[in-house]
Amino acid sequence: MTFRRFAAFDMPAVWFWPNPDAGTGEMADTLRHFREHHEAATKKMRFITDVPVDQFIALLKRTACLVGNSSAGIKECSYLGTPVVDVGGRQEGRLRAANVVHAAYDIEEIKAAVVAQLRHGRYPASDIYYRPGVSQTMVDILARVPLYTQKRFHENIPANARIS
């Protein structure tokens, strides 16, 4: 979705700077250019580069609809009941709760999905990513695994060998 099209929703928006993945530089440049050259369209937008986890979760909980390709939309938002429009194929193959609808990289398809999600509103919490006892299982495994703390070199070089 073009940024101007998103601005047409005329509602507050928070854009998170992209993670350091392939394409980050291009996306960051696009965000920066839009923010610096389209002041009227970005009046209700905030661009954020880093958010502490507790504040990020609080934002997700209050979000009317998360739009993008973040795993947070698939995982955390499922539990929070936050409506999500997952764009593109980055999260393809992941389990999805009812709060997630998919849209291709098509402006009209994304717009229709966002409008539908905004109309729907919040979803019931899903435990699709919850597994009872996982934390204890991890602790038990880590308690049994011998910890390797020092790398040691064992070179079998004869004393009279010359190293060049």
> pLDDT tens string for the chain (164 positions)?
467 667 777 788 888 877 777 767 787 787 788 788 877 777 878 888 888 899 999 999 999 999 988 889 999 999 999 999 999 888 888 889 999 999 998 888 988 999 999 999 999 999 998 888 989 999 999 999 887 777 676 666 666 766 65
Beta bridge pairs of residue 86 = 68, 102
Kindly tell me the sign of the dihedral angle through the C-alpha atoms of 89, 91, 96, 101.
negative
Domain 3-120, CATH homologous superfamily name and number: Glycogen Phosphorylase B; (3.40.50.2000)
pTM: predicted TM-score of the whole model, two decimal places: 0.74
In degrees and rounded to multiples of 5, residue 47 shows phi and psi of: -110, 120
DSSP state for residue 147 in the 8-state scheme: P
Q: What pLDDT does 1 receive?
A: 46
Q: Determine the distance from the C-alpha atom of residue 52 to the mean position of all C-alpha atoms in its chain, rounded to a whole number.
A: 14
Please state, in angstroms and rounded to a whole number, the distance separating the CA atoms of residues 111 and 114.
5
Listed by start position, the domains of the chain span: 3-120
